[in-house]
Amino acid sequence: MEQRVSRAARRGDLATQFLSAIDLNGPLEAALLLKRSGTPLAAWSRRGAPTDVATVMAATLEGSLETLVEAFGGPSTRAAFIKTGGWSIYVTKAEPQTLLLLAGPSVLPESFLQDEAERLLRRVSLPRTPAASRETGPGTGPRA
């Protein structure tokens, strides 16, 4: 039981760090920090989107894009930028098993969302996975 409480406390700290770093007066409409399984770690949306739906769909989106790129013969990607239906969406792997998705109006350029993702990730203390701590070298950091 003590381990469960400790994990919940860490998750709460992570959510607090993440949510307090979001610029509520900025142009973002949504910011989701989640496990690749779709489990939310922290989520915010200006319009009150259902967290469980949004995080599962974000994980599905990232997994689908990765599978599609690999099916075309490309390497696994760290980040993706999509413009659709009046929205700009940026999803990136914060850690091998952790994703960050940012969404805003379609006028937002990829560079803004990428910079905002990097800023938010600098503000949170993500639990390091053993695989993440071994990752070094080209292509393992945020996309430039």
The listed CATH number (3.30.1540.20, 3.30.450.30, 3.40.50.720, 3.60.130.10) that belongs to domain 2-125? 3.30.450.30
Q: Does the reported pTM lie above 0.85? A: no
Half-sphere exposure of 139 (CA within 13 A, CB side): 4
Query: Do residues 38 and 58 touch, judged by C-beta distance below 8 A?
Result: yes
> Tokens in use for 65?
């894009």
Task: Quick: pLDDT tens for 51-108.
Answer: 999 999 999 999 999 999 999 999 988 999 999 999 999 999 999 999 999 999 999 9
116-117-123 Cα angle (round to 5): 90
